[in-house]
Amino acid sequence: AANNPYAHLQMPNITIDYVMSSQMISYPLRLHDCCPQSEGACALIYANEEETKKITDNPAWFHAVETAHYYTFGTDDKMYDLPTATFASKKAYKKAGIKNPVKDLDVAEIYEPTSWSELSWTEALGFCKPGEGGKLLDEGITQMSGEFPINPSGGVLSTNPIGATALVRVAEAATQVMGRGEKRQVPDVEKALAMGFGGSLWTEILILGKEPMR
């Protein structure tokens, strides 16, 4: 988020001690384990291939769009392993020809409203085996300089304009594909994943690419 001029919370000098001393919200989550609530907006321009060529020579192309909903409103433990993310991502990967998301994708913008959710939901998205979400982080794979950066924008933990938050993930993924991320740009991005989340544990998965699918 410190590299993102659009991030609502830019805290480059934040420390573990600072987070752990913040207000307890619901054990064990503290204030800075939870996303803020802020105001903001996001807009995308959608166009077919013919019209796109009139607008720009550097678009982000949709390779797959999938969504899944659950039958509860987050009142059971399914929020933690998020089956809708698994269901929607598998369908999106198949549609986009993704065999191994960590190898075939270059970056991901996922919805992580709390500090724990990225660790759990990377497993639900098939980025690693169940129980190995922490390993991705410990080995530096998801860092900006890692093999598969996650949330170079700073994610939902730094910016959460209610109603636009999921669309921001798509915009940030498109920004990466178009190479317009400036200080938060991941090098040589060809394909990116964006994840939306909310409501009755619904998940939306979008795969974007630098080139159109044929």
Domain ranges of the chain: 16-209
pLDDT of residue 61: 98
Strands 29-30 and 191-198, by their bridges, are unpaired
Fold topology of 16-209: Peroxisomal Thiolase; Chain A, domain 1 (3.40.47)
Which of 125-133's residues contact partners 24+ apart within 8 Å by CB, and which partners? 125/85, 125/86, 125/89, 125/101, 125/193, 125/195, 125/205, 126/86, 126/89, 126/90, 126/93, 126/101, 127/101, 127/102, 128/102, 130/81
Is the Cβ–Cβ distance between 189 and 210 less than 8 Å? Answer: yes
pTM: 0.94
Strands 202-209 and 107-109, by their bridges, are unpaired
Q: How far apart are CA 126 and CA 128, in angstroms?
A: 5
pLDDT of residue 200: 76
Q: How far apart are CA 128 and CA 135, in angstroms?
A: 9
pLDDT of residue 78: 60
Q: Extract the residue ranges of the chain whose pLDDT is less than 70.
A: 73-79
Please enumerate in sequence order all residues whose Cβ is within 8 A of that of 74, keeping only pairs 6 or more positions apart, or say none. Answer: 200, 201
* Alpha helical stretches, state H, 24-105: 49-55, 78-81, 83-96, 101-104
Which of 170-176's residues contact partners 24+ apart within 8 Å by CB, and which partners? 170/44, 170/109, 170/194, 170/196, 170/206, 170/208, 171/42, 171/44, 172/109, 173/60, 173/107, 173/108, 173/109, 173/206, 173/208, 174/44, 174/60, 174/208, 176/106, 176/107, 176/109, 176/152
pLDDT of residue 74: 55
pLDDT of residue 132: 95
pLDDT of residue 19: 95
Token output for 78: 């399914």
Distances (CA, A) of 198 to 33, 84, 85: 18, 11, 11
H or E segment to which residue 121 belongs: helix 115-124
pLDDT of residue 70: 83
